[in-house]
Structure formats: C-alpha cells, structure tokens
Structure 1
C-alpha cells in the first residue's frame, strides 16, 4: 500500500542502480565458485572441466606455509580492529564537541581527505618520507652513520600496515558515527544540562549510548571481514623480505591465481576465507544479540 505513494516509488527507483550493481558484481560471479571443486582449464571452460571434489581444499590445508599465512591474516586484521576501530569513534566524539561551524568543517575536511587518496599514492608518500633516503628518515638520523630501512623490517611490517590504514580511513570512518550522533534527541542534552551535567557526562551517558547500535553494527561487520586484510594495501607494501609477517591470504590468492594461473586452487582459498568470514559474522551477531541485546538481524 505504501509503495503506491509517488514519493516511495521514487525512493525505490533510486535503489535500483545500487541493487543492480551489487547483483551483477557480487552475486553473479558466485556462479564461478564451482571451479573450486574442479580442475579448471581456461580452454575447456567450466562445463567441460573435470570435477575433483575437495582436492584443492586438501592441498590448501597440507601447504607448509598455510598456517603462517592464516596467522598473518588474522593478526593484521585483529591489530586493525584493536587499534583502528576506536579511532573513528573518538574522533567523532571530539568533532561533535566543536561548537563553531567553520572550525568543525575544516577539521572534518582535513581528516576526510586521506580516504580519497588511492593506496598507490599513500604508498608513494610513505616511501618518499620513510625510506632510507626519505626526508623524514634523513632528518631523524642526520647524525648517524646508518639509516634503518623500515620497509624491509619484518618486525615493523604489521605496524606499518595498521598505521597507514588508520591514517587513511579513520577520518572517513567518522561519517557513520556523526550521522548517528545527529539523530540523538537534542532534548536529552538539554535536560541533562539543566541537571548540571558537563560535557564529559553528556558524552558518556547520552552520546555513547546513542551511537551504541552503530558501533555494534560496524564491529560485527569488521569481525566478519577478519580474513579480508585489504589486499591492495598489502600488495603495495609487501616485498620478499617481509613475507614471514606480511604474507596474507589475499596476496597468496594473487600469487597463485594471477602469478601461477592456478585458478581452481586460488578460488578454493578465497572460498575458504569467505566461509570463515561469514561464520565469524554469524557468531559475532549472535553474541551481540545475546549479551548486548543488539544485532544486525
């Protein structure tokens, strides 16, 4: 009945392009997952390629470096959640405390800008500043005989990934939380101020509970993407000297699929990661629903 209203029809029409894009680029390619259970040949195609069952999954679990790759993937993602997840929330809370419009807009613009830089540009900037011949490293070690090459230091590689990821995406991550903050009833703040509440109390007892559903939703999604370690970023920063701590599932799929053309095996690896991610999302959603009373569905 509501769909017959002109304004509702217009809103649903606006959804059509987005739904089509998701369907074409996310759901249609799923038909190709069948090659994870085949010895796929680009010359034979999907229909003529032989079915091999779980052969590629058995091969994956028997790989000597599989444990290391899985560990690296999980550790990088966990570090991103532990150190990166709270930053947009903190930024949003502090931006909300800026009462003057112009400074607030300036701060938002500055922290949003890195998001619009591609990882190629971010990598180029990082190398320019922090390579052995970079300006920052030369300034820091101006009186030293040797300059450390941090880009090839395996012990620092995860920190580099997490640090650059936080710098690039934290500002943009505040958008959701700022939208949630604006939806909080202003009368709650007015009543609390009358009762003598200061800014910290307003933040603690009104703002944070008001954005709690958004925080939980984002956290569940982040947990679900634990196996997704931002392959594009890792590929750019990765080099053979840091494979021990930096080689993740995404880069492994890239090497196997595009490098060695083992399409069936790389699809099996990707499917394994997707299943694990989906299971983690279901688990996180279930725990959130049970203990916090909030969930995505």
Structure 2
C-alpha cells in the first residue's frame, strides 16, 4: 500500500500544479476516442457482420474469418511480403539515424551543423504522395536514372513495375525520408555528453572511433534499446499509403502486404468482418513480437527494456 504521507504529498503537489495536469486532458480524450472506443468494433472479426443488423445483431461465427485467412492461397505471400518489407526496413534503417547523429556530433561549427540538419530533416516533411510521384518520375523508363544507366545498358529498366525492385525502392526511399528526422533524439542525447570526457580521452591518446565506442555509444545505448523494441514490436504495422501508391498490376507479387489487402477486402470489396479479422491478426502478431523482443533485449541489456 502507498504510505499516507506519500498520498498527502501527491495531493498537495496536484493542487499546486493542477494546471499542468489539465494539459493532459485533450491527449487523454483523443486517446480514448480514437484508440480505445474503436476497440469495440473489433467484435465484428468474430461475427458475420451485416450493416443492416449492426454489430450486436450480426450472427456470431467465432474464428471462421481467421481460419479462412490462414488457409487462403495468398496468405503465405501476403504475410511474407509484409514481414520481409518490415524486417529489412528495420535492419537496414535502424543504424542510419545513429550514424547520422554520431557524424553530426563531430561537426563543431554551429552554422554548418544547422544547415546539414536542415537538409537531413527536410525529406520528412515531404508528403508520401509526392515522394511516390518523385519515384515514378525518376525511375520511369525515360527518367534520369535510366538515362544514366543507358550508358551501360541499351534497354531501360522498369523499376516501378518489376517485382524484383519493389522492396529495394520502398526501403531505401523510406530510409532517405525518415533517417534525418529519426536522428533528432540521438543528437539530443549526445548533446548531454560532457565535452570534458572527449577532451580527456583525446589527451590519453584515444582515437575518434575509440571515443565514439566508449563514450558516445554507451550514452545512446538505452535509447537505442527502447527504439529498437518499438521498431521490432511494430514490424508488422507497416505503412499503408506508400505501399498502395507504389503498387502496380505487375509488381503485386511483392507489393501486396497486409494493410493493402485489408483495404481492398474491407473498403473496396465491403467484407468488413473478414478485413477486421485480418487486421486483428496483424495486431496480435505485433503484440507478440513486442513482448518477445522486449524480453530478449532485457536479457542482453542488463535488465533495461521498454517495461
């Protein structure tokens, strides 16, 4: 039980700073309205949902929709496409912001550092629609990339329609767009490192790589652990918009993923119950991965994890 003295101290603190707690009210309301209340709708994953009967009036079918999805011919392809796209994106994209932050930390002139940061952060504010349009323009058969490749190859490469190139284009463009913005938290953490530690290490003869290894990386280690857990836990929660916009009828073998499949089955085909079951399956996989990765990281990171 919480000691009475601590309860009284909290009540006094709350009365003194209640205005600060009022700032939390809009966030709490938005979370309840857009996160918790929609959970009620997940019931239709277990029902033969009919808009005319409503959620409670529809017939209960149990796990039928889940069984239909798991036994469908395209389940394996869709599941593996989602897993590969997310896994490769996490593995290839996770180190990039760290490397950028460590590099920026070595820039001593503030003006130059700010200009570099502006260039690195700018892609994050470009719309996904614009990014996709740029990809189609630059990688079209008559685009600048094929113009350069024409020096070595007479036949243009169909980057945006060939399934072989979809994952590489999706992942690399995503890293380019998000890496700079993702490095902000690492840059902020490195700003708290005492410069005297680097000065002392330099006097002792430590090289740049040794200082990064023994001073900077230990500072970033807790943040890296938390962000990696969150990234791995959301490995199946890949973005819908970009994959859908990059899809063509020819690259579907590698571009069809769970979110685009849910959109097509749910909103386009109108099978709301089945699409909800697929989305719920995706969420369960994410939760399992989150718990598992957090457990592994805590074992490897001396008990430090997300929770």
TM-score interval, smaller chain: over 0.9
Tell me by how many angstroms 1:285 deviates.
0.5
1:17-50 CA-to-partner distances (Å, cap 9, x unmatched) read 2232222211211111000001111122112111
Q: Distance in 2 between matches of 1:282 and 1:175?
A: 26
In structure 2, how many angstroms separate the alpha carbons of the residues matched to 1:91 and 1:185?
20
Which structure's residues are more often helix, by fraction? 1
Q: 1:86 aligns with which of 76, 90, 95?
A: 95
In the superposition, the TM-score normalised over structure 1's length comes to: 0.94
Which residue of structure 1 lines up, in the alignment, with residue 80 of structure 2? 71
Secondary structure of the structure 2 residue equivalent to 1:240: coil
Cα separation, partners in 2 of 1:90 and 1:144, compared to 1, 3 Å: closer
Give me the whole-angstrom Cα distance separating, in 2, the residues matched to 1:173 and 1:7.
36
Deviations 1:145-180 (A, max 9, x none): 531211011111110110110111011110111122
Question: d(CA) in 2 for partners of 1:57 and 1:174?
Answer: 39
2:68 corresponds in structure 1 to: 59
Change in 2 beyond 3 A, CA 1:76/1:143? closer
Query: Who is 2:6 aligned against?
Result: none
Does residue 296 (structure 1) correspond to residue 303 (structure 2)? The answer is no
How far did 1:190 drift? 4.0
Distance in 1, Cα, partners of 2:38 & 2:26: 18
The aligned residue for residue 165 of structure 1 is 174
Q: 1:104-160 CA deviation, whole Å, 9 max, x = no partner? A: 001111110111111100011111111112233234326865312110111111101
Provide the C-alpha distance between the structure 1 equivalents of 2:237 and 2:60, rounded to a whole number of angstroms.
28
Structure-1 separation of matches of 2:12 and 2:51: 49
How far residue 52 of structure 1 moved from its aligned partner, in angstroms, is 0.7
Aligned partners of 1:24, 1:98: CA distance in 2, in Å? 45
1:34 and 2:33 matched: no
Structure 1 unaligned blocks of 5 or more? none
1:137-286 aligned at under 5 Å gives the runs: 137-141=146-150, 145-286=154-295
Specify every segment of 5 or more residues in structure 2 that has no aligned partner in the other structure, as ranges.
1-8
Matched position secondary structure for 1:151:
coil
Give the distance between the partners of 1:7 and 1:69, measured in 2 at CA.
54
CA distance in 1, matches of 2:115, 2:16: 35
Structure 1 residue 290: Cα displacement: 1.4
Q: Could you tell me how far apart the structure 1 residues matched to 2:27 and 2:19 are?
A: 14
Contact 1:2 1:8 in 2 (8 A): no
Alignment deviations for residues 245-287 of structure 1 (CA, whole Å, 9 cap, x no partner)? 1111111101100111110000000000100100100001111
Q: Give the whole-Å Cα distance in 2 for the aligned partners of 1:12 and 1:106.
A: 37
**TM-score normalised by L of structure 2:** 0.91
Say if 1:2 and 1:186 are closer, same or farther in 2 by CA, change over 3 A: farther
The answer for the alignment partner of 1:117 in structure 2 is: 126
- Give the whole-Å Cα distance in 1 for the aligned partners of 2:123 and 2:60: 46
RMSD: 1.8
- 247-256 or 6-15, larger mean C-alpha shift: 6-15
- Matches of 2:62 and 2:152 in 1, distance apart? 62
For the residues of structure 2 that align with 1:18 and 1:136, how far apart are their CA atoms? 45
Question: Relative to structure 1, is the Cα distance of residues 19 and 129 closer, same or farther in structure 2, using a 3 angstrom cutoff?
Answer: same
